[in-house]
């Protein structure tokens, strides 16, 4: 399994980017926000999900481990495959998607290409208890206040094996101005 890819962006097309890793190009399907910020010849590291089917193999990539974990949760839902999962992840950054699920906002999930009302409701029912607590979320504006995307302490806890919900809960009362290593130590010491 390919866990992550690091290299230079060689090409972009139709929601995919080609990452040149020492002369070998890997095509990686990414969410729209990743595609939009990807610039040719820039270095990039993507955490990947390697999807293998009888007729094909596909790589799906995310700039954070937390985003990859949300994607992996999405594709566990019956009727949500990798293409629908990437469509849901393309609605906004991973924190917006996570908050929509935590806030039981099926209309937000339903906006993804190929995701109907029943599938969106199934995502909410199956995942609302697995994605963690909601940060403040305004469904009308689709913006997140108190955004935790890019939180290195959160990503470190996920990498250590915490599920996203437990990682968020364990960091909830720890001041964000502390160094990342200190926040992680406190979270591990306190447990959940």
**188: confidence class by pLDDT, cuts 50, 70, 90:** confident
- Say if 4-62 and 65-144 have the same CATH topology: no
Kindly give, in sequence order, each residue whose CB lies less than 8 Å from that of residue 142, ignoring residues fewer than 6 positions away. 92, 96, 108
11-51 tens-digit pLDDT: 999 889 999 999 999 999 999 989 999 999 999 999 999 99
| Strand 137-138 versus strand 24-29 pairing type | unpaired
104-125 tens-digit pLDDT: 888 999 999 988 999 999 999 9
Beta bridge partners of 144: 137
Architecture of domain 65-144 in CATH?
Answer: Orthogonal Bundle (1.10)
| Strand 43-52 versus strand 16-21 pairing type | unpaired
Name the residue ranges covered by the structural domains of the chain: 4-62, 65-144, 152-190
Who has greater pLDDT, 135 or 100?
100
Architecture of domain 4-62 in CATH?
Answer: Beta Barrel (2.40)
| Helix segments in 32-151, DSSP class H | 32-37, 65-74, 82-89, 94-102, 106-110, 117-127
Task: Using CB atoms within 10 Å of the CB of residue 15, give its burial: 0 to 12 exposed, 13 to 18 middle, 19+ buried.
Answer: middle
Task: Using CB atoms within 10 Å of the CB of residue 133, give its burial: 0 to 12 exposed, 13 to 18 middle, 19+ buried.
Answer: exposed
Residue 87 confidence (pLDDT): 94
The pTM of the full predicted model, rounded to 2 decimals, is 0.71
């Amino acid at each position: 399994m390919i866990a992550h890819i690091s290299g230079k962006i060689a090409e972009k097309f139709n929601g995919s980017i080609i990452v040149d890793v020492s002369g070998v190009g890997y095509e990686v399907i990414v969410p729209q926000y990743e595609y939009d910020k990807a610039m040719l010849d820039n270095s990039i590291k993507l955490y990947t999900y390697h999807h293998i089917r009888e007729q094909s193999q596909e790589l799906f990539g995310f700039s954070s481990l937390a985003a990859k974990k949300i994607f992996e949760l999405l594709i566990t839902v019956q009727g949500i495959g990798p293409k629908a999962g990437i469509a849901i992840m393309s609605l906004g950054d991973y924190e917006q998607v996570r908050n929509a699920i935590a806030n039981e906002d099926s209309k937000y999930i339903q906006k993804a290409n190929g995701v109907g009302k029943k599938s969106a409701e199934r995502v909410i029912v199956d995942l609302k208890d697995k994605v963690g607590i909601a940060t403040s979320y305004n469904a009308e504006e689709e913006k997140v206040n108190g955004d935790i995307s890019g939180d290195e302490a959160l990503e470190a806890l996920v990498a250590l094996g915490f599920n996203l919900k437990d990682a968020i809960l364990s960091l909830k009362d720890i001041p964000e101005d502390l160094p990342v290593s200190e926040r992680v130590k406190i979270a591990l010491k306190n447990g959940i």
